[in-house]
Chain A
Amino acid sequence: MCLAIPARVVSITGDNAQVDFGEGVLREVNITLVEAKVSDYVLVHAGYAIQVLSEEDAQETLRLWNEILEAEVKINNK
């Protein structure tokens, strides 16, 4: 129920969008709650997109993880 699945917006018609959940699984979802454009990744929960995912922020997470760990390693090596 709180499960939300990322999907890529393929096309938009009014409040609805055709989204691709990967490997060709297409479905129409409602995008009233978000400002999504074609080819954006959205988080879909029970037929409604609840947030637009940011690739930049995803990269930022990976960068942050590595940075935290590198900083730890440096502290421990001192």
Chain B
Amino acid sequence: MMIKSLRFRNATLAKHVVRRIRKLAPKEDTLKVCHVCGTHEWTITHFGLRTLLPTNVEVIAGPGCPVCIVPASEIDEAVQLALNDLVVTCFGDILRVPGSKMSLLDAKAEGADVHVVYSVGDAIKMAEREPDKEFVFFAIGFETTAPSTAVEVLKQPPKNISFLISHRLIPPAMKVLVEMKDLSLNGFIAPGHVSTVIGLEPYEIFPKIYGMPTVVAGFEPLDVLFGVYMILKQLSQYKPCLENEYVRAVRSEGNVKAQKLMKEVFEVVDGNWRGLGTIQSSTLRLRKEHEAYDARLKYDVNIQQSSVDIPPGCKCHLVIIGKIKPTECPLFMKTCTPQKPVGPCMVGSEGTCRIWSKASRTNLN
């Protein structure tokens, strides 16, 4: 019998840990703890965790929304394929993310064949059912999603489906954040679900090289509070290290099989992130032996126009790195709303602006 999740939401334990956090918080300096996962942001905002923390302990949201950081140029590629009479299959979150001129939803409104699927496997089943049509799967997502694409590529799906690979890796983006001097971070809450796949080793550089306390945390409110507490404890003892709070899901070696399949199918290359620019060794590309499934090569995808990642007035590039809160953007809930999003952070359910738009004002601090 699985433990009831309610035990991970025990209010008395939460009060105790908050009291500990308050005791460990510095008297004057401000501490900035950064997480890089949309689901962490949801937990923090939904449960109003920021309101429980001392005002000088800030928890900021980094680039943890996998659709927000897909650059407009890659949306443009998917749109180009969709407008060229291919069936484009994708996850629902990416549908409304703006490209330079239009989103995939706009393309669909113009008659393009765009289908939302639950998984890459469902896209392949569609291709198998309709062998006369050409399909493309828009493969977005971090290390949590990339292994599923690898599984299907290795199974050699039918030749009428190919992949527009847009997978990205989290640790290289964390490295960019830690090196941003003006962001002055004091600790990382590492993403629990990405860590189930990659394990702990990729985070070791943060405490070792940058002296940055790093704690892999789960997604219950108590997981996040304990994550903050463990970081504060490390800081108070001047002993930055890597700790795993989410032991019920994250093994130190990660999911070795998933890592092996990813290595077999993908190579790591430099890539552009919306709001962050080019990050070294941060995106995946199909290896040469699998390039028959690469939609970019198969259909000679070529985006001519320069793409606009951040529309005028939009502050998503600052929200994505946690430099400002969504409420500090002049467009937030005025011209940019979930019904009519301007920037990518208001689109996906894991976008910081989208999460904040749904939160009660009293839960935001």
Is A43 a contact of B20 with CB atoms below 8 Å? no
Contact B348 A1 (CB under 8 A): yes
Judge whether A26 is part of the interface by a CB distance below 8 angstroms. no
Q: Are B39 and A46 in contact (CB under 8 A)?
A: no
In B191-242, the 8 Å CB interface with A consists of 191, 193-194, 196-197, 218, 222, 226, 229
B248, A50: Cβ atoms closer than 8 Å: no
> Which of B39, B91, B193, B246 is in CB contact (< 8 Å) with A50?
B193
Q: Across the interface, do B144 and A2 meet the contact criterion of CB distance under 8 Å?
A: yes
Chain B contact residues (Cβ within 8 angstroms of A): what range? Answer: 35 or more
Do A2 and B350 have beta carbons less than 8 Å apart?
yes
| Residue-wise interface mask of A (66-78) relative to B, using a CB-CB cutoff of 8 A (1 in contact, 0 not) | 1011001000100
Distance in angstroms from A20 CB to nearest chain B CB is 11
Given contacts A2-B39, A2-B193, contact A61 B248 (CB under 8 A): yes
CB distance from B247 to the nearest CB of A (A): 5
Decide if B120 touches A33 in the complex (CB within 8 Å): no
Of the 9-residue stretches B51-59, B255-263, B317-325, which lies at the interface with chain A? B255-263
Given contacts A2-B66, A45-B193, A69-B17, contact A50 B144 (CB under 8 A): yes
With A1-B91, A33-B257 in contact, is A62–B151 under 8 Å at CB? no
**Pairwise interchain contact A60-B248, C-beta atoms closer than 8 A:** yes
Interface of chain B residues 122 through 152 with chain A (CB within 8 A): 122, 140-142, 144-145, 147-148, 151
- Minimum CB distance partner of B226 in chain A: A65
- A11 on the B face (CB < 8 A): no
* Docked-complex contact A60 and B247, CB < 8 angstroms: yes
Distance to closest chain B CB from A36 (angstroms): 12
* Whole-angstrom CA separation of A60 from B2 in the bound complex: 13
Interface size class of A (residues with CB under 8 A): 20 to 34
Q: Is there a chain A Cβ closer than 8 Å to B7's Cβ?
A: yes
Q: Is the CB of B248 within 8 A of A45?
A: no
A10 on the interface (CB 8 Å rule)? no
**Which of A1, A8, A53 touches B249 (beta carbons < 8 Å)?**
A53
A2 surroundings in chain B (CB, below 8 A)? 37-39, 64, 66, 141-142, 144-145, 191, 193-194, 350
Q: Are B2 and A41 in contact (CB under 8 A)?
A: yes
Given contacts A4-B196, A45-B193, A61-B245, contact A30 B151 (CB under 8 A): yes
The reply to whether B248 and A1 form a contact with Cβ atoms under 8 Å apart is no
Residues on A with C-beta less than 8 A from B197 are 50-51
B13 within 8 A of A: yes
Q: Report A-chain residues with C-beta under 8 Å of the C-beta of B109.
A: none
Q: B141 touching A46 by the CB < 8 A rule? A: yes
Q: A51, B255: Cβ atoms under 8 Å?
A: yes
Interface contact A30-B16, CB-CB below 8 Å = no
Task: List residues of chain A with CB within 8 A of the CB of B255.
Answer: 33-34, 50-51
In angstroms, how far is the closest chain B Cβ from the Cβ of A16?
Answer: 9
Q: Would you call A59 and B3 a contact (CB within 8 A)?
A: yes
Determine if A46 and B140 form an interchain contact, defined as CB atoms under 8 angstroms apart.
Answer: no
**Which of chain A's residues have a CB closer than 8 A to the CB of B245?**
61
B286 on interface, CB distance cutoff 8 Å: no
Tell me if B67 is interfacial: C-beta within 8 Å of chain A: yes
Which residues from A are CB-within-8-Å of B249?
Answer: 43, 51, 53, 57
Smallest CB-CB separation from A56: which chain B residue? B248
Is there an interface contact between A1 and B145, defined as CB atoms closer than 8 Å?
A: yes
| Residue among B120, B251, B255, B348 having the largest count of chain A Cβ atoms under 10 Å | B255
B61: min CB distance to chain A, Å: 13
A43 to B254, CA, bound (A): 13
Interface residues of A (CB under 8 A from B): 1-4, 6, 8, 30, 32-34, 41, 43, 45-48, 50-51, 53-55, 57-62, 64-66, 68-69, 72, 76
Q: Which residue numbers of B lie inside 8 Å of A, CB to CB?
A: 2-3, 7-8, 13, 16-17, 20, 23, 37-39, 64-67, 91, 93, 118-122, 140-142, 144-145, 147-148, 151, 191, 193-194, 196-197, 218, 222, 226, 229, 245-251, 255, 257-258, 261, 348, 350
